[in-house]
Chains A and B, each alone.
Chain A
Amino acid sequence: MQANTIEVMAGRFRNSDGRKARPYTKGRQVDRLTKAEIKALIGESPRRDLLIEYLHLIQDRHGHLSSKNLAALADEMCLAQSEVYEVATFYAHFDVVHEGENPPPPMTIRVCDSISCELANAEKLVHDLEQASLKDVRILRAPCMGRCATAPVAEVGHNHVDHATLKKITEAVAGKHIHPAIPDYIGFDDYCGSGGYRLWKNCLKGRYSPERILDDLDTSRLKGLGGAGFPTGRKWRIVGGYEAPRLMAVNIDEGEPGTFKDRYYLESDPHRFIEGMLIAAWVVGIEKSYVYIRDEYPAIIALLKEEIAKVQSAGLADHLEIEIRRGAGAYICGEESAMIESIEGKRGLPRNRPPYVAEVGLFGRPTLENNVETLHWVRDIIEKGPKWFSESGANGCSGLRSYSVSGRVKEPGVKLASAGITIRELIEGHCGGMLDGHKFKSYLPGGASGGILPASIDNVPLDFGTLHEYGCFIGSAAIVVFSDQDNMKDVALNLMRFFRDESCGQCTPCRSGTEKAARLMAKPEWDMELLEDLSTVMTDASICGLGQAAGNPINCVFKYFPEDL
């Protein structure tokens, strides 16, 4: 580094007392041209919280992040080089290239290797792609892309290929089809034409009071549909009770393997969510909302930018500043406090609690964090009446659930059904039954985190809290169905590798525990004592839900599928 500088400057520096000073400046220097380029790219007065957005700008322009550009960015933002570097290397969608290293090929193919895609032979697809020796292309494995009903899935550039085959992918590569396909959705005019934003306008006219909306939410028993199931009305009241200014963070970082309901709603009816967000902000007294969207959903980023702009032009969002933020490939940012860190432009490290984000959230302010589907239901609950929602449940449960179903069923997809239906009712009544030649063996009730249940436990209502006694939980209602052709030891290893790859690395139990567990679980024989100890320490001592749930696959295999070991 800086060899030229050293030669040119050598011997020319002397301190006043005649001692030799270091003949060069320490560390990596910034060249002026690059700094001017970076300045032109990110604009005047850079904001610390936009670091990840700036990294995207550079990565999008150059296809990677060179040391030269990163150093210039750090300098322009008055940040330590290490601070920029640690953020750039945390997120999977950034490619940092050091001096003397080759940048990645111009085109990237990501193949999903999470559980639903693995069931659909993603492994063979990766192998075939590697054998095909495509020119100027690199092939990467990637975690769940939220398209599990059309597994296996690959992404060519930002173009997702459903039911991916070698042929489909090579055609996309040859045709340079690298941009996301924008789905056919209900746009602003159509949404308004069918009564959309009427409720919101009525709120502004004073026909509804914030208290009335809160009461309806309480009566509806709507709960946080991101997975935690916290009563929505109560959350809104809590945040509203803290001193202003208050902020909002909308969680569209749908990364739990097997979950794709949020994508489904945003790609079909995005304004229903926007109207819910406007109402939430008004009721709670929020002045700015950050909409955090995972980078795996480029079509949604594009369409929400367009549709939110329309809402703003129509004068419907005058009380609320809205900022869209783009994730960069990190499952952990779906954890609410990690998302807040990421919105602040940092690594997505979950925070220790207390304090809770409702009190001390974004930029230290009280923050309302809601999942997108939770907000999606607000309009219907107020318009149809809260009992319409609360009385939609089954088997003693309350409300509706959007089950994301994938795996060995005939008709996978998002199934809107009663909260509390059983897995049998879901498979037989909503998914056309099992695939031919497959016998129902087991299921994930809540993605990678929610544990694994055997087919024998098929009469338990699927809802928040009901699966606790079986060591499982429903979370985001990502149901992955397995058959007699699937080995649960292999399934558990896939899930553990996902946790290992997506652990933020902050706390010992999760960082080290998932790594050790994945090593031990790849062995032909499982060491029960060691794996149970790992599960215990991850569950009891991890900072956040990722580590606390990472032991679930281990426990469930020992408990329910000893014959698979």
Chain B
Amino acid sequence: MPWDRNQMAERAAAELQDGFYVNLGIGIPTLVSNYVPANYNITLQSENGMLGMGPFPTEDEVDPDLINAGKQTVTELSKTSYFSSSDSFAMIRGGHIDLSILGAMEVSETGDLANWMIPGRLVKGMGGAMDLVAGVKRIVVIMDHANRKGEPKLLRECSLPLTGQGVVDRIITNLGVFDVVEGGIRVVERAPDVSLADIEAVTEAALVD
């Protein structure tokens, strides 16, 4: 059985270490915060200018001056600090954030990441993704193993414009966990009852031992 969204997020939470400062992208990565071990002190960074992001607010707590990078309303914690955009990206670019978990359209076998535009069709912009992949110590991607047409997203080379070159360390898909290593992609873990053949069938990148 391939993992569903929540199981992928739960698996990604195993990437956390006590004391980590972490930036979570929009979509499935946001769900990772639901699976933080209770005895861990994890601090979530939101690149619009906040360290120590709390859960979504109750209806009474909603504050238009308190949002995350996905423009969703959030809450603060006792440890929270606020700062400007240039300070926020100083901590990102300066290597002070331990881990970033983000989504992807394509990842190559050398760790190239594409997740910001489809020429002629989707022109939204990269937001903070290029800064995150260039500056954060460890980059973990969560994505479906294949796209909606069933085509591989783990490729020899990305076909879409890059967000970063050689930046991805680990990829968590619905089929398993994969590391970018010398010579290609190594299968670290398979989802329950997913065979290597199942993975090979929807992977274009070179799989290595």
Physical interaction between A and B: no
B residues within 8 Å of A by Cβ? none
A residues within 8 Å of B by Cβ? none
